[in-house]
Amino acid sequence: MHIIGLRPSQLKERSQILQKLFKRLGENTLIEQPFFCDYGYNIEAGKNFYANHNLVILDATEVKIGDNVFIGPNCGIYTAGHPVEETKRNEGIEYAKRITIGNSVWIGGNVTILPGVTIGNNVVIGAGSVVTKDIPSNSIAYGNPCQVKKENPAK
């Protein structure tokens, strides 16, 4: 299944394809083209989810995205990884670790989220960050590697 060939105005058709592709996709979702994933059936996204152009999700295992999540352009969510040890890597060994993104999260453009990361609720991840470790709820974090820089007050 692919979205290639659909016009940007064909929102209904795009939504129908994504509903079939994803394990779960909440209402009021818009994923801009192009969008790439490995399988799709390992991805769950809540309501009010928006992803800008060029989102890549390598979903060799579960990717859970909460409600009210906004993802900037050119972002990658990668559950897959390879061993550091040369001989094992050259054998084609791969692993996958679940990624969880909480509710009310804003991920800036060009962010990379690595295997096994959990991002809490009410988090802002600054543009260009590489998220290598968990980010707690109510945080503003950025950098390479991404680190919490200050608290993000709750409502």
Which positions are annotated as active-site residues?
Answer: 82
Q: Are 29 and 35 in contact (CB under 8 A)?
A: no
Q: Are 103 and 86 in contact (CB under 8 A)?
A: no
Tracing tokens 């679940």 back to the chain, one arrives at 98
Distance between CA 117 and CA 134 in Å, rounded?
A: 5
Six token digits for residue 80? 């897959």
